[in-house]
Structure 1
């Protein structure tokens, strides 16, 4: 049987599409509770700035999402702020051996945002990159601020992911007789990859890896948030190592229960 990329995509159209919220970033000033990359975060009155539990150094706000500004997604909050902070170290807080261990990174969820600390007091709590002992190694510029632009889209699973493997096993192999993407002829595989693969920063949907899938076959964790490298000829907005991508994974149960303590954090690069 002469299998084409469109033969597989026809199956994916029926069983593989998933809703995702793409995120783009535009340098601009934001309000305290706006969705943003870097910038000044919401801190409640009496709150503390998150620190690295190992070193005591202050973490840096990487992402703040105001869910009232996000198109509705099943199981996701419809209000409140979710913040991701990371350490200014060579791995941006990641511990590859313990990717759930929020020692040098942190997820904080504020269900209500009506008790904000005075913004001048928040500024006093923020880390100052000019005072850092070492060169700032963050994947973003902490001196800049970007508003987040959300766009709802549908997405196919990327190749070499757990989700694509399952679709091959359950739907594509029984119909077309091929077990995986690697069984395709080179030209067909290249065409298929170009037509369905998508990286980018997003909420929900399917993950993208520059290296390999980190989850086991029966892992219940799904993509929560993805932050992909973003740059042009003028600047790097996000840069994970050598044009890498960061993923945060969560189970459906934890997402519904607003339990963000067991989120898996990972990033890789070329």
Structure 2
């Protein structure tokens, strides 16, 4: 990674080189390529409506209302950017969600369909929950992916190791902004955009222990208890939580997560590798 080495020299941070390389994460950055006219089915898309098999069952909230379609990822294309090699090599991955209130444990559904052929554009039988809440439909955009790397952001950086935080922030922003570009819409993997470094604990607590996060020191204790008191296993589960998708607010599409926030879907690494998308977690962060 010659580029990282050059940036460490530029920002005079060579003394934390080992920390940087230990904490680099592969990610897949997603960018808008243009408004989608639905002429080609099965493309990677955010907003609008999905292309699905004939007998696809539209996800509903616990109140029986249709969830809102957020994105579909054509994994034959997206997986080419997957340096982690976790994603299936084909098929379509769909993301739906309910009302984004409160910001944690948001109702949602992630659906994997192995086929990417014989798909058709599908609209729900009635207005979805977010369309009704926002009083508008969301504009469809095609997206493309590219492999990128990230270093810990301001929420995840180790302040005990990083003495010059201003220079570190500049380094992190330089890497991130160079990769994002003006049409950036979100990413797979990497460090969540958040205020604190507890998103993975929050997700693990719900997925594994079925407890809602309370921002308490006892939250991890609940996870440990659910794993028969094994703290090491709890730490391993937290570390193995993968951010399956993060989507930014975007005025072109109409997404506005509490004005200018992000939503992020999480999954256990083992479940992702086994193509088990029944246990996922969705939260929202907005500054």
Q: Give the TM-score band, short-chain normalised.
A: 0.7 to 0.9
Cα distance in 1 for residues equivalent to 2:264 and 2:140: 21
* Aligned mate of 1:202, from 187, 212, 223: 187
Cα distance in 2 for residues equivalent to 1:242 and 1:151: 27
The answer to whether residue 156 in structure 2 is matched with residue 157 in structure 1 is no
Say which SS state the counterpart of residue 230 (structure 1) adopts: coil
Partner of 2:249: 229
The answer to whether residue 140 in structure 2 is matched with residue 145 in structure 1 is yes
* Aligned mate of 2:200, from 215, 221, 229: 215
Structure 2 unaligned spans of 5+: 1-10, 202-233
Count of residues paired in the alignment? 228
The answer to whether residue 21 in structure 2 is matched with residue 14 in structure 1 is yes
* Aligned mate of 2:274, from 251, 254, 257: 257
* Aligned mate of 1:80, from 70, 75, 91: 91
Contact 2:24 2:152 in 1 (8 A): yes
Partner of 2:260: 243
Contact 1:86 1:106 in 2 (8 A): yes
TM norm structure 2:
0.68
Cα distance in 1 for residues equivalent to 2:117 and 2:56: 13
Deviation at 1:257, TM superposition (A): 0.3
Cα distance in 1 for residues equivalent to 2:152 and 2:140: 31
Measured at CA, do residues 134 and 243 of structure 1 come closer, stay the same or move farther in structure 2, by a change above 3 Å? closer
The answer to whether residue 188 in structure 2 is matched with residue 193 in structure 1 is no
Structure-to-structure mapping, 1:21-36, within 5 angstroms: 21-25=28-32, 26-30=34-38, 31-36=40-45
Contact 1:76 1:255 in 2 (8 A): yes
Structure 1 unaligned spans of 5+: 166-177
How big is the alpha-carbon RMSD for the aligned residues of Structure 1 and Structure 2? Answer: 3.0
Cα distance in 1 for residues equivalent to 2:110 and 2:28: 19
Cα distance in 2 for residues equivalent to 1:179 and 1:211: 16
Measured at CA, do residues 151 and 126 of structure 1 come closer, stay the same or move farther in structure 2, by a change above 3 Å? farther
CA deviation string 1:118-168 (max 9, x = no partner): 54xx33x35336xx7995338xx634111112122121122322xx45xxx
Partner of 1:170: none
Say which SS state the counterpart of residue 49 (structure 1) adopts: coil
Say which SS state the counterpart of residue 215 (structure 1) adopts: helix
TM norm structure 1:
0.72
Say which SS state the counterpart of residue 199 (structure 2) adopts: coil
Contact 1:20 1:204 in 2 (8 A): yes
Deviation at 1:213, TM superposition (A): 2.6
